[in-house]
Structure 1
Amino acid sequence: MSDDQSVPNPFGLAMNAQRQFIDATTGAFDRAQVAEERLDTIENIDVGQTPSEVVYEENKLELLHYESMTEEQNEVPILVIYALINKPFILDLQPDRSVVRRLLEAGHDVYLIDWNEPSRLDQHLGLDDYVNRYIDNCVDEVRERSGQDAINVLGYCMGGTMSAMYATLYPEKVNALGLMAAGLCFENSGGVLETWGSDEYYDPRDVTESYGNMPAEFLDIGFALMDPVANFVSKYARLYDNLEDEDFVENFARMERWLDEGIDVAGEAYVEFLEDIYQENKLYRNELELDGELVDVSEIDMPVLQILGEYDHLIPPGASKPFNEIVGSDDVTTIEYSTGHIGLSVSGSSHEEVWPQVAEWYHERSDVESEGVTETVQRADAGSDAEVRVDPTEGDLDEVEIEIEDDEGVQTELVERDGDDVESAIEEATDVEIADEESESDGESEEADDLDGVADETDVEEDTRDPAATVGSELEEIDGIGPTYAERLRETGIGTIDELTEHDAAAVAEAAGVSEDRAADWLEQARS
């Protein structure tokens, strides 16, 4: 052996092994010191902390309205339609990872449907009940509270699928449609669930005929088995390694609470979703019917936003993207981010990069105050050689940015959302007086006067009617009677609570299109 060659330490391996053992023992001791405290953290972790109030209830569902976090809010509210599986606090997990808070912080008015857990009595609720009754009643409630004819919708997972159905059937009530990890097309999408749910291997009625509803425990174990090593081994190993990190433990505890607190799914809705959506792909094929009416997705003519997880193993992008090609809208946007199904809601990077884009997308498509601005810009283009553009998303909620480009360059100015203010700014920048809108012809004016006269006569006639007969909100004081049911009852001559009590359960059930048990409950409330 040459002099320059080092002689290996014969005790090196033993010393290294001893050092590793000491480090491991010390680490285990340190973790043991905090184990009891961390266990208490896991058992008592808080979730869903953003303040809200229940503004509408029907059966088990609660419609939550969140407190504003800005001085001004977008006038067009967002209704979040959650899935029927698990609880919705995954969208409000903790303050820095809350979809609800990101929307509130951006100046949106946010509502959310919390379905809660169905009982055995709810096993016959189908997709028609959820879409045409519950969602429609909640949408009408939000429309009434906000004073908007059409509102924004954001559907998550199964809630996104139902949101697409709703937007198809009630396009006049939806201003803009957001679909987050929504299962819309199951034809060789590559998802494991599509294979497991195939009619070749699985009949969902085998479960519901035995249990009534689909038990949450069955769903939980099915989802966990999609990645058994990660769900049964790796995550607990990571928890042990990070037991001294309080933030890590709190994040772990919140996710575990959400995973552990699954809820059953109403039996008929589960069967219909599996058979019609997964196995037969009827929504995508334009063959789905609810209550005998075709769910024609070409009727979706409002702006559509798809929010997808690139690594989503539950709803892979291939189960969502093809839907963009068959909707009737010419304003379709896709945000595909490098995360998974749950990561869209809770990953820190999603909250930094995805949700600001989503909030801005809704702002851009909810500008209810810009009609006068748009008209002014159109007249400016017609009256000058300058090109005038307007961006309603710049500035505060009560401002717009106008950009005027002519031979001398580009000028940009923030002005209030007022046609006169915009007009003055454009005239000053272009030195061209904007032409007034064309006045109506005498014939048109006379026709308008005639119409005003008809309207006046109608007002007189309406004023002579019994005021109680025109008040629909009184019926809605009954728990379970929403705007849709109230309208159905009014159409049959039941316009007040007193009139409701004059009928028996069978008559009320037939008028509203509900079961006699539900009608009997309404009557009991009305007579108490």
Structure 2
Amino acid sequence: MTDDGRSRVKTPLEVFLSVQQAVLETATDGIRKAAVIPNGLKGTASTKVGQTPSEVVYTENKLELLRYEPLTEHQHPVPVLIVYALINRPYILDLQSDRSIVRRLLEAGHDVYLIDWHEPSRLDRYLGLQDYVNRYIDNCVDEVRERSGRDAINVFGYCMGGTMSTIYAALHPEKVNALAVMATGLCFEDTGGVLELWGDEKYYDPRVVTDTYGNVPSEFLAAGFDLMDPVSNNVTKYVHLYDHLENEDFVKNFARMERWLTDGVDMAGKVYAEFIEDIYQNNLLYENELTIGGEHVDSTNIDMPLLQILGERDHLVLPEASKPFNDVVASDDVTTIEYPSGHVGLAMSNGVHRDVWPEVAEWFLEQSEHPMLADIIGQGVEKALGIDVETDVTVGDVDEIEIGIGDENSEIARAVVRRDATAIETFLEDVLDIEVGLDSGPTGIAVKVKTDEGIKTTVFEDIGEAIRTEVEEAVEHVDVAASYELEDVEGIGPTYAERLRSAGIDSVSELAISESAHIAEVAKTSEKLAGGWIGRAQKLVGAEESVNVGRKNPTGVDRQQGTEDD
């Protein structure tokens, strides 16, 4: 204070010294707190991550395709394939049960797969986008398509995995039912992001790094990310940890996160250079000028539903590096979710798992078709009786299904039943005074409908592993053609019948939906003779046609018009 009571203005030197003192005090406090942290972290090294059970269903080179065990009795028909980035490990998406994207999708009834790239060897340094997109991702997509019996599946990509997923969708749109990407860099045209600035060709040549190392070391990548926010990454977070050392859950969460941050993987040199040069520096994907393996990556091929999940505080991939891409795709079904979170927070924060992931799970469901088994039963009844059977299921009640029955004039009945073949059959039988049965054979499923006029059977082919398993394990077979024995088929005597039964062909209905080559092999006869048996079996059970359920509308019925295609 001055003599007249006014506040004295500090000199520049005094201001500088005050700031310096504050900085030193903060740093000293941080160092003191950091020194006691190791004792507080004892025992956290064994903290488990990625605990949701899964099995490896496909491998190629280093990659493993994981399929997670379901958490609901039934799963939605269109699976979700998660394409992770080539940096760090994918268990950030399954770090702990209450903050696991994988579990949120499983809890909502989705069938979830994930590509775990693992670490490339020195021999992999020449793997580029052509290898990762057109070979590895494409082969994994085909594996999931085959297992699910779907022509197209849902693809979800995170960070760099989102960029590769977008490229894949542009090159193979017929295989992608819906595309979702999170924290994904797609547009680098003066967005103001640090990555865009540092990666500018005026300052950075990725070929220098790849020529020096071959594959880009994980330590090199981690150091770059650390420097984007050095104080927060190296001081502030440890001070925050010190303040919560007595909170066991907080410490375990911190330990899991630190384990992931330090558990990096190297990146194949060629694909790293291509990403920096083509995606960041030259902005070729956004400009629709990118080519891979001589093929144009045309963004206007992306006509499927698109979802972008963005972090408002993402300093790695700013929203401005993602949102403009919505305007260059052909899809007229584009959804954007922005949330006040950072790059990793989109996968980890409590708020995101409370507010965002239920919405994402619902979005995936909206892009999926009806539950396959229920739809197959309904279509079989539609074919037999010429009426309309609709099915619907929601995320919240994945184990229940709503069934509506109607004709061209009015609705006959509607009810919510368990998503169980027996429950569905019972409802249809009670309302329509019919008998409904299922049979599973080597090539498909037969839906048999018995009325006063006889039996009518519709055979559904190419059903996929998931639906076949559901039928074989969950369905109590009600064989409405049980009055027929294999010996009732002209040409099948006791010897042939015994051979067929030994191979698991126990009924005339199963014979009717079998392939002649398979029957010829197990019965030890000619394929021509086996084909004759199958034809006569189909006549006995009333199987008039086969339906390939791989198509969008396998019955050819327009549900709104109520008519069949010619």
CA pair 373-193 structure 1, distance change in 2 beyond 3 A = farther
Residue matched to 2:158: 156
Check conservation: 1:393, 1:400, Cα contact below 8 A.
no
Residue matched to 1:63: 65
Q: What root-mean-square deviation, in Å, do the aligned CA atoms of Structure 1 and Structure 2 show?
A: 3.6
1:399 Cα offset (Å): 1.8
Check conservation: 1:80, 1:112, Cα contact below 8 A.
yes
Residue matched to 2:147: 145
Check conservation: 1:35, 1:243, Cα contact below 8 A.
no
Q: 1:399 aligns with which of 398, 401, 408?
A: 401
1:302 Cα offset (Å): 1.2
3-state SS of 1:46 partner: coil
Give the % identical residues: 61
Q: 1:99 aligns with which of 95, 98, 101?
A: 101
The 2-side partners of 1:53 and 1:328 are apart by 36
3-state SS of 1:262 partner: coil
Check conservation: 1:372, 1:419, Cα contact below 8 A.
no
1:175 Cα offset (Å): 1.0
Residue matched to 1:205: 207
Aligned residues: 392
Residue matched to 1:79: 81
The 1-side partners of 2:157 and 2:323 are apart by 15
CA pair 86-173 structure 1, distance change in 2 beyond 3 A = same
Task: Please identify which structure carries the higher helix content.
Answer: 1
The 2-side partners of 1:114 and 1:154 are apart by 14
Deviations 1:218-241 (A, max 9, x none): 111111111111011101111222
Deviations 1:52-107 (A, max 9, x none): 11111111111111111111111211110000001001000111111101111111
Check conservation: 1:80, 1:110, Cα contact below 8 A.
yes
3-state SS of 1:93 partner: coil
1:462 Cα offset (Å): 12
Check conservation: 2:391, 2:401, Cα contact below 8 A.
no
The 2-side partners of 1:402 and 1:317 are apart by 43
- Name stretches of at least 5 consecutive residues in structure 2 with no aligned partner: 1-28, 380-386, 407-412, 432-514, 522-566
The 2-side partners of 1:207 and 1:35 are apart by 35
1:41 Cα offset (Å): 2.6
Residue matched to 1:352: 354
CA pair 248-398 structure 1, distance change in 2 beyond 3 A = closer
The 2-side partners of 1:290 and 1:463 are apart by 45
Alignment of 1:331-410 (within 5 A): 331-369=333-371, 392-393=393-394, 395-396=397-398, 399-400=401-402
Residue matched to 1:270: 272
CA pair 401-328 structure 1, distance change in 2 beyond 3 A = farther
Residue matched to 1:303: 305
Check conservation: 1:288, 1:295, Cα contact below 8 A.
yes
Asked if 1:235 corresponds to 2:227, the answer is: no
Residue matched to 1:48: 50
- Name stretches of at least 5 consecutive residues in structure 1 with no aligned partner: 1-24, 376-382, 384-388, 405-410, 426-458, 466-528
1:397 Cα offset (Å): 5.1
The 1-side partners of 2:405 and 2:239 are apart by 56
Query: Match of 2:332, as an amino acid?
Result: D
Check conservation: 1:185, 1:323, Cα contact below 8 A.
yes
CA pair 272-241 structure 1, distance change in 2 beyond 3 A = same
The 1-side partners of 2:360 and 2:72 are apart by 17
The 1-side partners of 2:394 and 2:371 are apart by 12
Residue matched to 1:250: 252
1:260 Cα offset (Å): 0.5
CA pair 317-402 structure 1, distance change in 2 beyond 3 A = farther
3-state SS of 1:40 partner: coil
Query: Match of 1:269, as an amino acid?
Result: V
1:393 Cα offset (Å): 2.9
3-state SS of 1:113 partner: strand
1:156 Cα offset (Å): 0.4
1:243 Cα offset (Å): 1.5
Check conservation: 2:371, 2:392, Cα contact below 8 A.
no
Residue matched to 2:327: 325
Alignment of 1:414-453 (within 5 A): 414=416
Check conservation: 1:82, 1:158, Cα contact below 8 A.
yes
3-state SS of 1:213 partner: coil
Check conservation: 2:104, 2:357, Cα contact below 8 A.
yes
Check conservation: 2:399, 2:418, Cα contact below 8 A.
no
CA pair 127-35 structure 1, distance change in 2 beyond 3 A = closer
The 1-side partners of 2:70 and 2:190 are apart by 43
The 2-side partners of 1:421 and 1:119 are apart by 57
Check conservation: 1:191, 1:313, Cα contact below 8 A.
yes
The 2-side partners of 1:419 and 1:301 are apart by 37
Residue matched to 1:260: 262
Task: Please identify which structure carries the higher strand content.
Answer: 2
The 1-side partners of 2:64 and 2:376 are apart by 38
Residue matched to 2:131: 129
Deviations 1:335-384 (A, max 9, x none): 11111110010001111111111111111111244879999xxxxxxx9x
1:420 Cα offset (Å): 12
Check conservation: 2:178, 2:305, Cα contact below 8 A.
yes
Check conservation: 1:168, 1:300, Cα contact below 8 A.
yes
Check conservation: 1:82, 1:156, Cα contact below 8 A.
yes
Q: 1:314 aligns with which of 297, 313, 316?
A: 316
Residue matched to 2:224: 222
3-state SS of 2:190 partner: coil
1:323 Cα offset (Å): 1.1
CA pair 463-276 structure 1, distance change in 2 beyond 3 A = farther
Deviations 1:281-312 (A, max 9, x none): 11111101111010001111111111111111
CA pair 326-402 structure 1, distance change in 2 beyond 3 A = farther
